[in-house]
């Protein structure tokens, strides 16, 4: 089995919480765009955004793998992208791993109002190789691709949050 570790971040272990979900039956292409959209958000606003996309009140912007994705009128101009979709299956798994990381953060005693998504990424998982018999003695491959999702939450102080936004006060 392959060796896997979390990324090395400059955040102390007592101020961060981690979670991973493996072999998810969701498209890596959809997961890439979901992860990019919520990276850097606070945990509560990321979950609210994902729930709005699930209800199709707001479209998720697609930066990559967007060929065939039509322009949506309900994309916020802050994304600077017009094409989007509603990847419901991928969002359900991302919400699941975010809730797991949130529970880990509450067990560590972190303040959930100041928790921010420091790192979130999706990687290629195990490929299940199957073959389907066809006519005249042939066979066709039928591969099932899976994905892994990893998330690191960090407790960020209010001063750091304001500096990141560029507010000088």
Mean pLDDT, rounded, of the chain = 89
- Residue pair 152/9 in contact (Cβ under 8 Å)? The answer is yes
The rounded percent of the chain whose pLDDT value lies above 70 is: 92
Domains of the chain in sequence order: 15-164 (3.90.470.10)
Q: Grade residue 67 by pLDDT with cuts at 50, 70 and 90.
A: confident
Taking CA atoms, 7 is separated from 11, 68, 104, 118, 119, in Å, by 11, 33, 17, 11, 8
pLDDT, mean of residues 145-154: 95
Instruction: Kindly give the pairing relationship between strand 115-133 and strand 139-155.
Output: antiparallel
Residue 66 or 166, more confident: 66
Q: What is the mean pLDDT of residues 128-132?
A: 95
User: What whole-number distance in Å separates Cα of residue 143 and Cα of residue 105?
Assistant: 36
CA angle 74, 75, 81 (to 5 degrees): 145
**What is residue 81's predicted lDDT score, i.e. its pLDDT?**
87
Q: In what order do the strands lie in the sheet with 115-133?
A: 16-24, 139-155, 115-133
Six-digit token pair at 74?
A: 């309900």
Is residue 128 pLDDT above 50, yes or no? yes
- Give 128 or 1, the one with higher predicted confidence: 128
Place of tokens 């994905």: 147
- Mean pLDDT of the region 125-135: 95
Categorize the per-residue pLDDT at 169 as very low, low, confident or very high, splitting at 50, 70 and 90: very low
Of the two residues 27 and 69, the one the predictor is more confident about is: 27
Report pLDDT for 90.
96
Question: Is residue 40 a contact partner of residue 117, using CB atoms and an 8 Å limit?
Answer: yes
Q: What average pLDDT does range 24-39 have in this prediction?
A: 95
More confident residue, 72 or 161: 72
């Amino acid at each position: 089995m392959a060796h896997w570790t979390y990324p090395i971040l400059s955040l102390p272990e007592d101020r961060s919480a981690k979670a991973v979900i493996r072999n998810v039956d969701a498209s890596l292409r959809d997961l890439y765009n979901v992860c990019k959209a919520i990276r850097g958000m606070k945990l509560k606003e990321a979950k609210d955004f994902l729930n709005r996309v699930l209800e199709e009140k707001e479209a998720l912007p697609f930066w990559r793998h967007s060929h065939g994705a039509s322009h949506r009128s309900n994309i916020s101009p802050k994304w600077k992208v017009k094409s989007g979709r509603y990847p419901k299956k991928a969002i359900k798994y991302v919400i699941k791993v975010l809730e797991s990381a949130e529970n880990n953060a509450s067990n560590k005693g972190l303040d959930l109002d100041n928790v921010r998504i420091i790192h979130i990424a999706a990687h290629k998982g195990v490929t299940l190789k199957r073959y389907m018999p066809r006519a005249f003695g042939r066979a066709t491959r039928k591969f099932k691709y899976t994905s892994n999702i990893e998330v690191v939450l960090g407790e960020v102080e209010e001063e750091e949050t304001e500096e990141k936004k560029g507010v000088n006060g």
